[in-house]
Chain A
Amino acid sequence: EAQVTQNPRYLITVTGKKLTVTCSQNMNHEYMSWYRQDPGLGLRQIYYSMNVEVTDKGDVPEGYKVSRKEKRNFPLILESPSPNQTSLYFCASSPQAGNQPQHFGDGTRLSIL
C-alpha cells in the first residue's frame, strides 16, 4: 500500500530535549515536505526537499532541521524544542515538485512542556 509513515504519532516532551520525528514514503517520490498545522493558521511549510541531499526552507523553518540522505526518508529534527513548537506536524511527498498533488502522512502531535 502506498503510504507516508510518520513516527511517533504522539509525543509529550520537555523544553530543550532534542527530538526527531521520522517520515518514510514507499512510493519512490522525489519531493518531500514537512508542515505544521495550528488552529486558525492552517498548514504552513517548514522545510522541503526536491531530492536526496537537496533541502530548502519553507515559510516557518526557525527551530527545525531536516536531512535527506535517502530518497524514502525525511526526518524532522528539533534540536532544542520550545513550547511554541507544540503543534500537529505532517510529512508529505509527491512524485516531483511543482504541479503534482502531495500525499500526506497521518500526523504527529507534539506537546512541548
Chain B
Amino acid sequence: QKEVEQDPGPLSVPEGAIVSLNCTYSNSAFQYFMWYRQYSRKGPELLMYTYSSGNKEDGRFTAQVDKSSKYISLFIRDSQPSDSATYLCAILSGSARQLTFGSGTQLTVLP
C-alpha cells in the first residue's frame, strides 16, 4: 500500500463547477500537508500548505485536513479553464526530510 493514495482521474468539469480533489494517507506521523499544481511541461508549484486539521482558504481554493480519518481535500470554487492542470497532494512528517507525493489528479475545466 502506498503511503499516499490519490485518485488519478482524469476529472473533467464545466467552467464554474466546484471541484473536489482528495488524498488519503497511512502514516500518522505526517504533519504537514501541501497541494501543488502542475501545468503541462512545467514543474509543480505550491498552491496550499497547512499543518493542522480543519480548513484553510485562499481565494477560490480551500484545503481541508482531517487527521483522524487521514484524509485531505482541495476544493476549487468557480473553476476556470486556467485551473486545468494536474494537482498533486504532498505530505511531510515533522522530522522527515522527504516529501511524499500522491500520484496526481489530472483536471480539465471546460469553457
Contacts and interface: CB of A to CB of B under 8 A. Distances in A.
A and B held together in a complex: yes
Interface of A: 4, 31, 33, 35, 40-45, 48, 50, 56, 58-59, 90, 92, 97-99, 101-107
23 contacts: A35-B101, A40-B8, A42-B102, A42-B103, A42-B104, A43-B44, A43-B101, A44-B101, A45-B98, A48-B98, A50-B97, A56-B97, A90-B43, A92-B43, A98-B92, A98-B95, A98-B96, A99-B51, A99-B94, A101-B34, A106-B41, A106-B43, A107-B43
Contact of B31 (A35, A48, A90, A99): A99
B98 A59 contact: yes
Q: What's the dominant secondary structure at chain A's contact region?
A: strand
Interface in B57-98: 88, 90, 92, 94-98
B45 interface: yes
Given A98-B92, A104-B45, A107-B43, 7 more contacts: A43-B44, A48-B97, A98-B96, A102-B99, A104-B43, A104-B44, A105-B43
Nearest to A6: B43
B92 A99 contact: yes
Given A90-B44, A106-B43, A107-B41, A43 B97 contact: no
Given A56-B97, A99-B94, A101-B49, A107 B104 contact: no
Nearest to B31: A99
